[in-house]
Chains A and B, each alone.
Chain A
Amino acid sequence: MKHLTKTVVLVLAIAVVLTGCKQPTQLINDVKAAIETVTTAGADKYAAEELKAINDDLTKALDEVAAQDKKFFKKFGPAKEMLAAVQTKVTELTAALPAKIEAAKNAAIQLQGEAQTALTETAELLKKAPKGKGTAKDLEALQADLTGAEALFTEIQTALDAKDYIGAADKAKTVKDRVAAIAEQVNAAIAKVKK
């Protein structure tokens, strides 16, 4: 009986030691897959700094795994803790990413709206502008300028549809700025008549 107890304890001890010596392969794979998922979801665009930190932490954790793997008495505990910390960060980023993307989307939509408003207001301004002698030529040219800006307005929606919110925001801003410059010239033409 005493002999059997000793054998069981020994087997258990070996099992514990062997389990402790195993690389945390599953955990590594899970963390890598989670990083891949969050990257594909847009973290590389909308949370580049956070993603970089996570990748750096993963590298450190993998280095620790590799270092322990070379040792006779392997101790993967700290590496597992590091991987778990990375996993937590990925989970946090995964949770935060939709809000970041949504914020970028909203910012782009807001700018698109502002560009649309500017286009509508400037078109109205052009309609109402006195096309008398002295301004008709300028106003015709400005109308053509506005038509050009309007033609590029569709590119904003194309970028939004492609979920390129940063690109959409850039496009919306440039259209809005261009229309603002045209409106300024329309006002100058109107002021010329009023003089």
Chain B
Amino acid sequence: MKLSKISGVCLLGLLFGNACNTPPVPPEAARAQTLEQDLWRTGGSLFAPGEYEGFKSGLKAADERIRAEEAKFGWFRDYEAVRAELTRLVAQGEDLLRRIKDEKASRERTFSVSADSLAARIDSLIQITQYFNENEDIRKNVSQAQIKLAEARMLVAKENYDLAARIAGEGGVFLDRAEAASVKILDRYLDQGQLQKWRRWATEAVEESRQKSSVVFLVNKVERKLVVYKNGEIKARFDIGLGKYGLSDKLYSGDEATPEGRYKIVSKIPASKFYKALLIDYPNESDRQAFAEARKKGLVPARAGVGGDIEIHGGGKDSLTRGCVGLDNKNMDDVYEWARVGTTVTIVGAIAVENTILAEIRKFKDNA
């Protein structure tokens, strides 16, 4: 009897002792669960849907096996097989997580390259619009591109790469339009025939200055410079401003374009509305002829005349003239001093083929 009691106690002890020694659920199970959450938050279903689903299936199978083991009596539980499976699953999940992060980093880099390219195009266009004033279309499109780029950057921060790429693409379309508008305005500046004509005028102006030992003003519209020549040599250079459509060749009254051609100063005005002014003889014979031809072709508004009152005046180079050449007052003082009635003023669009703006425009044209 005593023996049976002792046996019973031993059996109970063994039973409870074993129960206490029941193998615990492998810690990899919790790690795998956390990984699943991490994978979901990292966008597993978006960036690697197949593998993410595979991971989830593996996790589910492991979970079932754990529960199957848990259903067994403590003595018979054996988590070794499922532990091995979980270890493999965790490694697979960690690898997947790393690859998704790499994929996202790669997509961020790709976006960054494209965003940098858009930003550079925006900067280039904005820089160009500092040089001329016919920029309404350009600036409007650039402004829209800037908004699209900001939106795309916001989407990338939210890891919405596909939509970000689409929005950045829309920004690119606005920039294409802006570049096309720039090309439209400056296309004739790339025309070799036009450039040769301007160069000939410039050369003749310098030659005249040399031969007659006289002062000649050479206005370069695209470079925004007024250069004073005396005896064929450069004596001074001044920054200038033009009208809203200053880079276009003046054709008629009110077009706000600055004429191109060879002119003379016909009057010096010491107290003008815009500080001091030098009136030139626009329109000359060539201008009248161009106006008549344009009118025949219907390129001139019905009531418009050929225009006049084109001056070199003060008031500021940053001003918007209506076709005149504007200078800062301090520089106007100097130009006014150099000038005489009869001084030649040659106004050209450009002389050098390679200058910043034209190089940019050529790039836009090549990109189109």
Interface residues of A in 36-77 (CB under 8 A from B): 52, 59, 63, 66-67
Report yes or no: B147 in contact with A175, Cβ–Cβ below 8 A: yes
Q: How many A-B residue contacts, CB cutoff 8 Å? A: 84
Contacts of B68 in A (CB 8 A): 67
Query: Is A151 in contact with B140, judged by CB distance below 8 angstroms?
Result: yes
Q: Are B318's CB and A138's CB within 8 A? A: yes
Contact of A148 among B67, B144, B316 (CB under 8 A): B144
Kindly specify which of A3-11, A26-34, A87-95, A128-136 makes contact with the partner chain.
Answer: A128-136
Contact of B319 among A136, A170, A174 (CB under 8 A): A136
Whole-angstrom CA separation of A68 from B172 in the bound complex: 58
Known: A52-B40, A133-B318, A178-B146. A140 touches B60 (CB 8 A): no
Q: How far is the CB of B138 from chain A (nearest CB, A)?
A: 8
Chain A residue total in the interface (Cβ 8 A): 30
* A window 115-135: CB within 8 A of B: 132-135
Among A135, A147, A174, the one with the most B-chain Cβ atoms within 10 Å of its Cβ is: A174
Please name the 7 residue pairs, one residue from A and one from B, whose CB atoms are nearest each other, closest first.
Answer: A148-B143, A144-B139, A133-B319, A136-B320, A133-B316, A133-B315, A148-B140
Give the contacts of A152-170 with B (CB-CB under 8 A).
Answer: 152, 170
CB distance from B182 to the nearest CB of A (A): 13
Given the complex, which residues of A lie within 8 Å of B274, measured CB to CB?
Answer: 133
Nearest neighbor of B241 in chain A, beta-carbon distance: A137
Q: Does B135 contact A (CB under 8 A)?
A: yes
CB <8 Å contact, A140 and B320? yes
- How many Å lie between the Cα of A195 and that of B241 in the bound state? 20
In the complex, residue of chain A having the shortest beta-carbon distance to the beta carbon of B178:
A148
**Beta-carbon contacts under 8 Å, B147-162 to A:** 147-148, 150-151, 154-155
Q: Which of B40, B67, B320 has the most CB of A within 10 A?
A: B320
Instruction: Kindly state whether residue B63 has any CB partner on chain A within 8 Å.
Output: yes
Given contacts A170-B154, A174-B150, A174-B154, contact A145 B318 (CB under 8 A): no
Known pairs A134-B316, A140-B244; list 18 more (Cβ under 8 Å): A133-B274, A133-B315, A133-B318, A134-B318, A137-B241, A137-B319, A138-B318, A140-B320, A144-B135, A144-B143, A145-B143, A147-B143, A151-B140, A170-B154, A170-B155, A174-B147, A174-B151, A175-B147
- Chain A residues within an 8 Å CB radius of B135: 140-141, 144
> Interface residues of B toward A: which range?
20 to 34
- Cβ-closest chain A residue relative to B145: A148
A residues whose Cβ falls under 8 Å from a Cβ of B: 52, 59, 63, 66-67, 132-138, 140-141, 144-149, 151-152, 170-171, 173-175, 177-178, 182
Q: Which of B137, B138, B154 has the largest number of chain A CB atoms within 10 A?
A: B154
The residue from B60, B138, B139, B326 contacting A63, defined by CB atoms under 8 A apart? B60
The residue from B60, B147, B320, B326 contacting A59, defined by CB atoms under 8 A apart: B60
When distances are taken between beta carbons in the complex, the residues of chain A under 8 Å from B64 are: 63, 66-67
Q: Which residues of A contact B136 (CB under 8 A)?
A: 140, 144, 147
Tell me, rounded to whole Å, the shortest Cβ–Cβ distance linking A7 to chain B. 35
B35 → A minimal CB distance (Å): 13
Chain A residues, CB < 8 A from B142: 145, 148
16 residue pairs bridging A and B, Cβ less than 8 Å apart: A59-B60, A63-B63, A67-B67, A133-B326, A135-B318, A136-B320, A137-B320, A140-B135, A140-B136, A141-B129, A141-B133, A144-B143, A147-B136, A147-B143, A149-B143, A170-B154
B40–A145 CB distance below 8 A: no
Q: Which residue of A lies closest to B60 (CB)?
A: A63
Of the candidates B133, B143, B155, which one forms a contact with A178 in the assembled complex, judged by CB atoms under 8 Å apart? B143
A149-B60 in contact (CB<8A): no
Within 8 A of A (CB), among B259-275: 274
Cβ of A138: which chain B residues have Cβ within 8 Å of it? 318
* Most chain B CB within a 10 A radius of its CB, from A59, A135, A138, A148: A148
